[in-house]
Amino acid sequence: MNLLSRPGALRNGRILSNPAARTQIAAAAALAGWHGGAIGNGWWRHGNGGYGWVGPLFWPFAYNDIYDYAIWDDGIGFWGYGYGDIYAGIFPPYGYDDLAGYFPQRKWDRRRGRPVAIGQMCGNDSRTVAGMPVDQIADAVQPTEPQLAALSELGQASLTAAQNIRIACPSQAMLTAPGRLALMQQRVEAMISATALIQPRLERFYGLLDDEQKARLNGLAESQRKASSAPGDAGSVTQSCSAPGPAALQWPTSEIEARIHPNDTQKATLQVLQDTSARASEALQAACQAAGQTLTPPARMAAAAKRLDAMLQAVKQVRAALEDFYATLSDEQRAAFEAIGPARPA
């Protein structure tokens, strides 16, 4: 934890390669500017202790989560993302002052603490952090010259993929629910683009290996996963992305009624939004159950790509219904709707 408190922690490849360390960083950052209390009190917390939203940023350390699952078979961070994050985008726990604290132009307030470097949590495309461990893989599989060339190409692609994800970092706080879901969509699309860049190169490299080399690479992943996981972290894909508890994601219908006093048209579009959200939750849960166990890096990368596609479809569908609902609201009603999330108790 002393290492994590230092300014260079988010640029340290050794620290960020550990999923448990990233979880601790994200948890501390998610609650650094929140009015609701200490670590552990956030209702939008993931099962592994991390958070899908850190202030205005959706999916901190996105590249690392993809990479850890696909290469090292450690999917606790990656598979924890799901409908709960969409819900947190609609009813976020952050108010304007909370969000402003995450951007560097805000002066340091000693009472609230130092601002969090959101830009660094968006992703780091330096070779020490985002680079594929070419040397480590090469030592394990002892590649031939053609295999080494394919591995080098994979390493270069990983740096470009990390850069693409980093570009999708928010430069300002979105103060409306449709705006936040638009940011979610942008972030997921960047992740899909990154996996599309890496996947064929990973498949090519893996396809060039003989059975013994594949076994050594898979064994290396198993050793790395065990070494980087904290006690009690083990769990299946299905357990990692299990549906959030109904109490945490129950729509605040009575609060909406009391705050915006919807007319019949607004009630109808709100019902469509709620129904669409329920279907999105069911679809993402079904995608978890269909994932099963994947034993090779290319298979895990393919599973990650499918999961991201499912996330993108869910976000798009809910966003469209949300925008239809918002179109029926007055400016005053929209402001009242946005105030629901920050006002709700932890």
Print pLDDT tens along the chain (346 aa): 344 444 455 555 566 777 788 888 888 888 876 765 554 467 788 888 889 999 899 999 998 899 888 888 888 889 999 999 999 999 998 888 788 777 665 454 445 455 556 777 776 655 554 556 788 899 999 999 999 999 999 999 998 998 888 888 888 888 899 999 999 999 999 999 999 999 999 999 999 999 999 999 988 877 776 665 554 444 556 566 755 554 446 889 999 999 999 999 999 999 999 999 999 999 998 888 666 667 899 999 999 999 999 999 999 999 999 999 999 999 999 999 999 988 765 4
Angle between helices 297-327 and 264-291 (to 10 degrees): 180
Residue bearing tokens 């299990």: 242
Tell me the two tokens of residue 127: 């070779």
Note the Cα 224 to chain centre separation in Å: 21
Tell me the two tokens of residue 226: 């065990």
Q: Among residues 85, 164, 90, 155, which one has the least CA distance to residue 123?
A: 164
Look up the pTM and report it: 0.87
Q: For residue 93, report the phi and psi dihedrals to the nearest 5 degrees.
A: -80, -5
Sign of CA dihedral 336, 176, 42, 270: positive
- Given this model, what pLDDT does residue 6 score? 44
Q: Among residues 114, 113, 125, 122, which one has the least CA distance to residue 57?
A: 122
Sign of CA dihedral 269, 274, 278, 280: positive
